[in-house]
Structure 1
Amino acid sequence: MELLLILNKFILWCYICICYLYSDHINAAWFVFTSLAYLSINMSIYLFKKTQLKYSGIWLSMILILAASFQVDPFFMLLLPMNLYEFFSIYINKKWMLLILLMLPLAVISHSLHPAYFLAASFHFMSVTITEQYVQRAAKLESALDTMRKDIHRLTKSLNDYYEYMKQSQYMLQLEERNRLAQQLHDQIGHAMTGALIQMEAAKRLLDTNSYKAKELLQNAIHISKDGIENIRTTLKHIKPRSEQMGVNRVKLFIEEMAAQHHRHIPLVCKGDLEIITPIQWKIIYENMTEALTNAMKYANATVISIEIHVLNTLIKMEVKDNGKGADKIKKGLGIIGMEERAASVNGMVIVDGTNGFSVTTLLPIQKHEPVQT
C-alpha cells in the first residue's frame, strides 16, 4: 500500500513538473526547492515507525502544498488529495465520506484547476480503494490457506495415528490368534500325543511278558494318535478361511477404497454359489475388475459403476458396467488385451460393450472336480 502511495505522488509530481516547464513562471529556484522539500518530507513519512511522527510529516506536507500552491505554482494543489487521504483514512472507514473530504478543496481553488484536481483526487481515491480491496481479499485468502494448511496437518497427523493404531491392532490380533492357536494345540493335541506316548512306553515294557496287554496298549496309542491327527486337521480347517471369503472380501475392500477416493457410487451384487470359484479364478476376477473399474473412473465420466459377480450353471460371470458416455468404436488397448489374456489362461473370455454406457464382462468356465479314488 505504501508503495502505491509513493507511486501516485511521484506520478502527479512529474505531471506538475511538466506543466511548470510549459508555463510562463520564472521562479524556478523556488519550484525546485519546494519540490525537494515535498519529496523529502513524504519520503520520511514512510521511514518513521511512530504514528505521531507520521501524522506530523503529513501535516507538514499539507502546509507546504498549500503554501507552494499560492506562492510558487497552483498545480501543487494536485498533491493535496493524497495527504488528505493518508490522514483521514485513519479515522474514517466509510469510503464515500473520504471522497467528499478529498473534493472539499474544490471550493477554494481556482476554477481552472477544477478538472485537474478532480481527476487527480478521483485517480488517487480509486487506485487506493481498489488496492485496499485486493489486499484485504489476499489477506482473507492467505488466512483461509493457512487454516487449510493447519487442517491438512491435523488430518495428516490423525491419519498417521489411525494407521499406527491399525498396525498395532493388527499386531495384537495376530498375537492373540497365535496365543489361542498355541493354547488349543497344547490342550487338545499335546495331551493326546502325551497319552499315546505313555501307552507306547507301557506296551514296550509289557511286550516280552504280556504280549496281549502290549498289543492292547499299542492299539489304544494308535486310536489316540488318530484322534490327535484329526484334531490337527479340524483346527487347521477352522483357521484357514474359505477361498470365497478371501475373494469377496478383497473385492469389497478395493471397491470401498475406490468409492471413497473418487466419490462414486459403486454397488456390488453377488449371486450364486461362490464356493465353487477357485483361487486362480478369484485372482482373474479381481485383476480384471480392478482394470475395468480404474478405466471407468478415468474415461467414462460416470456417476454410478455397478459390479456383478454371478455364478451360473456352467460359467462365472463378472461384469463392470457404468452409466457414462460409452464408446461408438472400441479400440482395444493394453488394459483390455491384458484382461482377455488373463481370462484365456483358464479358457475364459472377455466381452466389451460401449453402447448405453460401457461394460466389461469376464466369463470363466466352472471347473468340474472329479472325485479322488482312495
Structure 2
Amino acid sequence: MTAHEDLHSEDGAHRGERADRDANPVIKVEDLAWLEFEKPDLDAAERFAHDFGFSTAYRTGQELHLRGTIAGTQCVIIRRGPRSRFVGPAFRAAGVDDLRRLARETGATVDERRGVGGGAVVELRDPSGMPVRVVAGVESLPELPRQAPLPLNFGTVRRTNTPQRPERAPARIERLGHVVVETPSFARNLDWYLHHLGLIVSDFLYFPGQRDRGPTMAFIRCDRGGTPADHHTLAMHLGPAPRYVHSAYQVADLDAVAAGGEFLKQRGYHRAWGIGRHIQGSQIFDYWRDPDSVMVEHFADGDLFDNSIAAGWAQMSASGLAQWGPSVTRDFLGAKPSPHLIRDVISALRDDTNDFDVRRLIGLLKVASS
C-alpha cells in the first residue's frame, strides 16, 4: 500500500533499492520514552521549559524531569552537567522479555533502572556512539488537564455568539513526538535501528542527482502492526558529525502552536523557523531555540501510519521541507559557516569508514541552496 503522492513523494522504491524495514528485527519498540540532556543551569532550563509548555514532574538540585499532559513517562530528563548537550534517547519496549532478547543479541545486560519511575533498562550505543536506552516497566505518570482544541466553524456551525480569543500563553505540551539526529555513518546507523529496535521507514530522501547512491535521510516510525504510529519517531540524515538536530513536542492545534509562539516571542526567545506545514509527516510546525541554542519544535496534526504503508522516496531540497510557510532559514538548516562546522567537514572527509565523501558534500551544499 502507498500513501505517497503529489507533494509527499515522487514515488516508492525502485527494484533493488534499500528496504524500508528489517526482515527479522530483534524487537519492535513501541515508542520513544524520553530524551536525556545535560545542562549547567537547571533553573534556566526549567524557566524555558515552562514557557515552552512543559510541566515539572520531578526536580532536585541535580536532575529535572519534564512532562506533557498525556499519561505516560516524562518527555525529557535534564541532568546537571558542565555544558549543554544532548545525551541520547530512551525507547519503550513492550516488556522485560523484549529487553532480555535485545540483551542477548547485543551482549548487553538487563539492569534495574535506578531513580524515579523504576523499571528495567538495557543500555546500548548506536554505530555513531550515541547512547541509546531501551526501557520497560517504567511507572506511568497520571494524565494532566489538557488544552482543548478550539471549536472551528467548518461548514457546520459549532460556535455561535462566541468570538475566538485563544489565550496568549504557553502551549501545553501533550507528549514527545520525535527526535532528529545527524550522522556521518548513515547506512550503518539506519541498519542498526531497523534491526535492533524494529523501526520502519516512512520516507527516504536523497541528495539531488544521487538517488543511485541511496538515501541520505530517513523518517522512521515504530512498527505497531495495525495500530497507527507517528510518521516519524526518529529521523536521521547524513552529515559531517554525529549531533542532535531537534526534538518535537505535540500540542493541541494550530492555535496552540501560534499563540504559544507569540508568548515565546514576547518572552524574548529566538524562533528558528515557522510557522508552516511540513511535507514528510505533514505536521504544522514552529521551531524555537532555548537559552543554550538547543532547537525544539511545537507541532500539531502530524500523519499517522500503520505498518501497511511502504516508504516513499523523494529528492531532498530546502524548498521541499514545507507545503506552506516562510522560506526555510539558515538557522534551521544549520548551514551557518563556523570554524566548528569546517573542522567537522574536514574530519569527516578524512575518515574513509563513513558515508560522507566529497560527492556527498556537494549534494549537501546543493540541498542547502535549493
**TM-score, with length taken from structure 1:** 0.20
* Greater strand fraction, Structure 1 or Structure 2: 2
Structure with bigger gyration radius: 1
**TM-score, with length taken from structure 2:** 0.20
